[in-house]
Amino acid sequence: MTAPRTLLASARKQLEEAGIDSPDADAAILLAHVLDTDRNRLLLVDDVSEDQEKTYTELLARRAEREPLQHLTGVAYFRHVELAVGPGVFVPRPETELLAGWAIDRATAIDAPVVVDLCTGSGAIAKSIADEVPGAEVHAVELSEDAYPWAVRNLTGTGVDLRQGDMADEFAELDGTVDVLVCNPPYIPLEAWESVAAEARDHDPDLALFSGQDGLDAIRVLERRAAELLRPGGVVGFEHADEQGPNADNGGAPAVFAATGRWQDVRDHLDLAGRPRFTTAQLAT
């Protein structure tokens, strides 16, 4: 039997030496998972059994090898919702919550809004919109055969119209009627493979990460599809890499929309670290 405080101190050191960015938080989250308790209640536990300690040791070793924390616990938290995640689906990132928040704010301002989430992955954005804008008609699509079952699991019972298909041509019956379109597309350039964090590169699906030599191929498809789906005056928001902001040599992700002449009020937005993170635009009326 070992006290939680002792285990956490050792675990923190192990994860720190492995290069984990948040060793304290990860050590605590994993121990809480093993003990089936809340992280804030860990120090109220007197002792950890030998079997629990063994399980914890095994999970720590996997985390030290850069297996995503969410794969080890099976859960990701996004805004106010809980998501089941695991191999085959992209683990939602905190910075994407800002894009979801933008979509929620825009949808909230409209009576009975029609919202579409392209490249839904785990269903994180779609589920958040359904949760926070109960009057919205929400549609979502995912291409990957591996990711789609996770979206089904997360969106069942939410009222979201989920489909498996290609964002390039799904929802033809909605053309010209959508109020808010949101997308977290793949956007990493193929040449940047080695610079991607091990958790993403080795465990997130390539389909959710990479998008051509400059990383903008999916965003180009999105621009065309958004122009078809949105009503005049409808809005689109999408995430991009921080290197694809408006100061990029080629104008970055915003330029993909600005160059076509179909859009007005093309804006780029920063994440909480002050880095370019997502672009929004309004279909010209």
Q: Which of 42, 33, 59, 38 is nearest to 8 (CA)?
A: 42
Asked, for residue 230, whether it belongs to a domain, the answer is yes
250 annotated as belonging to a binding site for a ligand: no
Q: CA–CA separation, 166 vs 155, rounded Å?
A: 18
Asked, for residue 134, whether it belongs to a domain, the answer is yes
Asked, for residue 123, whether it belongs to a domain, the answer is yes
Asked, for residue 26, whether it belongs to a domain, the answer is yes
Asked, for residue 220, whether it belongs to a domain, the answer is yes
**159 compared with 200, residue with greater pLDDT:** 159
pLDDT at position 6: 87
Same domain, 58 and 152: no
185 annotated as belonging to a binding site for a ligand: yes
pLDDT-derived band at 271 (thresholds 50, 70, 90) equals very high
Same domain, 117 and 234: yes
Same domain, 58 and 92: no
How many independent structural domains does the chain possess? 2
Asked, for residue 20, whether it belongs to a domain, the answer is yes
Residue 135 reports pLDDT greater than 90: yes
Same domain, 210 and 178: yes
Same domain, 51 and 97: no
Same domain, 164 and 197: yes
Boundary of a domain, candidates 65, 97, 118:
65
pLDDT in tens, 90-131: 899 999 999 999 999 999 999 999 999 999 999 999 999 999
Asked, for residue 273, whether it belongs to a domain, the answer is yes
142 annotated as belonging to a binding site for a ligand: yes
Same domain, 234 and 160: yes
Asked, for residue 56, whether it belongs to a domain, the answer is yes
SS (HEC) of the chain:
CECHHHHHHHHHHHHHHCCCCCHHHHHHHHHHHHHCCCHHHHHHCCCECHHHHHHHHHHHHHHHCCCCHHHHHCEEEECCEEEECCCCCCCCCCCHHHHHHHHHHHHHCCCCCEEEEECCCCCHHHHHHHHHCCCCEEEEEECCCCCHHHHHHHHCCCCCEEEECCCCCCCHHHCCCEEEEEECCCCECHHHHHHCCHHHHHHCCHHHCECCCCCCHHHHHHHHHHHHHEEEEEEEEEECCHHHCCCCCCCHHHHHHHCCCCEEEEEEEECCCCCEEEEEEEECC
Give the domain range for residue 212.
87-283
Q: CA–CA separation, 204 vs 22, rounded Å?
A: 19
Same domain, 175 and 275: yes
CATH (domain of 58):
1.10.8
For the chain, the first-to-last Cα distance in angstroms comes to 68
pLDDT in tens, 245-258: 888 888 799 999 99
Same domain, 109 and 231: yes
pLDDT in tens, 18-56: 999 899 999 999 999 999 898 888 877 878 888 999 999
Same domain, 30 and 107: no
Same domain, 131 and 217: yes
pLDDT in tens, 167-203: 999 999 999 999 999 999 987 766 655 555 666 555 5
Q: CA–CA separation, 236 vs 178, rounded Å?
A: 10
Q: In one letter, which amino acid is 42?
A: L
Q: Which pTM was predicted?
A: 0.89
Same domain, 35 and 97: no
